[in-house]
Amino acid sequence: MDFSEPTKVKEIRASVRAFMDKQVYPIEAKVRRDGFKASLPLLRDKRELARQTGLYTAHVPEQYGGAGLSLVEFAHMSEELGKSPLGHYLFNVQAPDVGNMELLMHHGTDEQKQKYLLPLVRGEIRSCFSMTEPEFAGSNPVWLGTIAKKDGDDYVITGHKWFTSSAEGAAFAICMAVTNPESENLYGRASMIIVPTGTPGFELVTNISVMGERGSDWASHAEVSYQGARVPLSNRLGPEGGGFVLAQERLGPGRIHHCMRWIGICERALDILCRHAATRMLAPGKPLGSKQIVQQWIAESRAEINAARLMVLHAAWKIEKEGAYAAREEISLIKFTVARTLQRVLDRAIQALGALGMTDDTPLAFWYSHERAARIYDGADEVHKTTLGRRILGRYRARTDAARAG
């Protein structure tokens, strides 16, 4: 087992770090103050500079205009970008576009790739992913109320979604809708359908207020109503009834991206904690860091972050070698482990900073509210734990059954 970082990874990390230091950290506070939408001109200028690093849309193969990084290479980059709330957006590798690009790359027709993938990769448009519904438990993804009915050469989509992140300003949504209600296979009832947001019948009802913030543009979560939105059958992504399989595929690498972003947040939070502990004086000659409890917060955070990173890189490696299906246990494991680590490290950093931790002078308070969702989206932690526990137990049952039979 070789734990050394390949030269290419070292270069990627160094290049992103240099960009973050010079171009990103200095504008963070201003963007937070002004809001995302009002900051778009500034962010567009920064995106042009990010493009010049050669790492723009880095996870996409070169044939589509990306930098062609492997999942493991991109995981390292994602950690560096995660150290600022703006990192992923500036390099055009932000959710949900990153996952939608992967879907289009693997399942899009040539026409869909031309019309939707290539402009996404170039950063000319944005997209959103529209699956969760207020009336149905999102934890049971095969239970949906949105219907896409065939009418001649079209689908007519009717339904109600929410938490369609980044819908404001998006050019299209990938909508999960039931196309085969009669299918006995519950997992074969829904399909993914591309719906341009200008389609009559696609209505962005409102940006939902989340943790006291309504958000704007990419940084928002929308309630969306589909009222007879009509799109051609050729807008279906992948096979009819294949929506669930595609959603699972999308989430595998997606969880690597999120987890490494969370590890980036942890590293920044720990750095802020340590700088403060070393310089904040409780009394003359007595820095905060002289207290054992603070030293323990630092040590525990270091251990948890290092362990989390190894787990995520291993899961990414396994997806690359054996595919997302073979790595499904590792994917569940990192989802709830890293989400927990993220919240523990952020909480310790805020506690160590005292009142300063509650201000917007550091990104800690922003992350503390925004990243609470990490334990809910991409599968609530409880669902991952239950599924993983059941799978592990299943192997014991199989052994017991085999012993009894033999």
Ligand X SMILES: Cc1cc2nc3c(=O)[nH]c(=O)nc-3n(C[C@H](O)[C@H](O)[C@H](O)COP(=O)(O)OP(=O)(O)OC[C@H]3O[C@@H](n4cnc5c(N)ncnc54)[C@H](O)[C@@H]3O)c2cc1C
132 binding ligand X? (CB under 6 A): yes
Torsion of CA 97, 102, 103, 108, to 10 degrees: 110
Task: From 117, 245, 126, 272, select the one nearest 189 (Cα to Cα).
Answer: 245
Nearer to ligand X, 151 or 382 (CB): 382
Region from 180-188, 282-290, 349-357, 375-383 binding ligand X, contact rule CB under 6 A: 375-383
- Report the residue closest to ligand X, judged by CB: 138
Region from 56-64, 68-76, 380-388, 389-397 binding ligand X, contact rule CB under 6 A: 380-388
96 binding ligand X? (CB under 6 A): yes
Alpha-carbon separation of residue 128 from 29, 162, 168, 342, 405 (angstroms):
26, 11, 9, 25, 51
383 binding ligand X? (CB under 6 A): yes
135 binding ligand X? (CB under 6 A): no
Going by their DSSP bridges, the two strands 190-196 and 236-237 should be labelled as: antiparallel
215 binding ligand X? (CB under 6 A): no
DSSP classification of residue 137: -
Nearer to ligand X, 8 or 390 (CB): 390
Q: Least CB distance from residue 15 to ligand X, whole Å?
A: 29
DSSP classification of residue 70: -
Q: Least CB distance from residue 177 to ligand X, whole Å?
A: 12
Choice from 139, 279, 351, 369 touching ligand X (CB under 6 A): 139
Contacts of 305 (CB under 8 A, 6+ apart): 263, 266, 267, 270, 341, 345
Any idea which residue has 């937070």 for tokens? Answer: 32
> Using CB under 6 A as the criterion, what x/- string covers residues 154-193 for binding ligand X?
---------xxx----------------------------
Q: Which helix H or strand E contains 226, and what residues bound it?
A: strand 221-232
337 binding ligand X? (CB under 6 A): no
CB 47 within 8 A of CB 88: no
Choice from 81, 86, 131, 195 touching ligand X (CB under 6 A): 131
138 binding ligand X? (CB under 6 A): yes
121 binding ligand X? (CB under 6 A): no
Task: From 28, 365, 29, 25, select the one nearest 213 (Cα to Cα).
Answer: 365
- The Cα 235–Cα 99 span in angstroms is 17
Return residues touching ligand X (CB under 6 A).
Answer: 96, 129-132, 137-139, 163-165, 221, 373, 376-377, 380, 382-383, 386
